Amino acid sequence: MNFSQLVNARSVRQEAESLYQSLQPLLSLDPRFADLILTDLGEIVRFCGRSNGEITANELLAYLTIYALIKQDREKLNAAFKTWDFSEVDRLKYQKITLQLLLDATKDRKTDPAQLDELLLPAVLNKLDEAKGTNYLKSTVNGIYQFAQVIVKSDGTITMQEMEALSQVWQRLHNYQTLNSYQDGLAKVTPLTPPSPSFGEAHEPPPSSSPPSASSPPSASSPPSPPPSCSRTARRQNPRRTGPDP
């Protein structure tokens, strides 16, 4: 990896860690939130990544990192934080593993690749906030949208197609399906079963990653603010892609 790719990979990991920290209260509230979050994030990563026809290596790294943090998967944590930048063999291997994770998480999506499926998490959080008087929805959707921005910028450029994809992500995060209760939404969550490949090489222990203690639920407040603008200028030509396509 060249210097620019290393910088972009570090930015992706930092944003994934930031999102993980913000999701801690939800993950502590109900274990089903882990698979619900990863399913919606998988849909977003796949949709944004394929807006230009191909998912890049750093876009895959984004999902691998947040998956490993949420699942506390030591082997994937090691791959994302230790060997990804310096071992081409490991990087290619975990790109394939992450592609399979994305396929598993989004296997029930609609057939039209130009449209982003409805996201279940915002609807569940909306009902949860109504029932508990909390404000999970606003902070979570803002964190996920920021994560989506980092995904599309992970190769150093933003195309018009990626800008349009971000617009759809914003709309899906703020226009959600109707549920009778948040428990009804959680009942729809499909457990994610990770692939079990044969890992031929031993890896050094992953970085210690002790999840922070869950904070108290935030208080209720106003509706979400308008989408933040991207800092880079959109480019119409497609950048060169490096990652494999699922």
Res 94: pLDDT: 97
The 10s digit of each residue's pLDDT in 9-41 is 999 999 999 999 999 999 999 999 999 999 999
Global pTM reads 0.77
Close Cβ partners of 201 (under 8 Å, ≥ 6 residues apart) = 89, 90
CB 81 within 8 A of CB 207: yes
CB 170 within 8 A of CB 145: yes
Question: Is residue 164 predicted with pLDDT exceeding 50?
Answer: yes
Compute the average pLDDT of residues 163-179. 90
Strand ranges inside 56-133, DSSP E: none
Question: Is residue 219 predicted with pLDDT exceeding 90?
Answer: no
Specify the amino acid at residue 75: E
Tally helices (H) and strands (E) across the chain. 9, 2
Assign 80 a pLDDT band (cuts: 50, 70, 90): very high
Residue 45 or 203, more confident: 45
User: Average per-residue pLDDT in the chain?
Assistant: 80
Least confidently predicted of 60-64, 147-151, 198-202? 198-202
Res 113: pLDDT: 58
Residue 118 or 215, more confident: 118
The 10s digit of each residue's pLDDT in 96-150 is 999 999 989 888 766 555 567 789 999 999 999 999 999 999 999 999 999 999 8
Res 155: pLDDT: 77
Res 220: pLDDT: 38
Q: Cα–chain-centroid distance for residue 88?
A: 23
Query: Backbone phi, then psi, for 135, in 5-degree steps?
Result: -135, 45
Residue 228 or 232, more confident: 228
Question: Is residue 242 predicted with pLDDT exceeding 50?
Answer: no
Res 151: pLDDT: 86
d(C-alpha 181, C-alpha 232), whole Å: 40
Residue 135 or 190, more confident: 135
Question: Is residue 238 predicted with pLDDT exceeding 50?
Answer: no
Cβ-in-10-Å burial (0-12, 13-18, 19+) of 110 comes to exposed
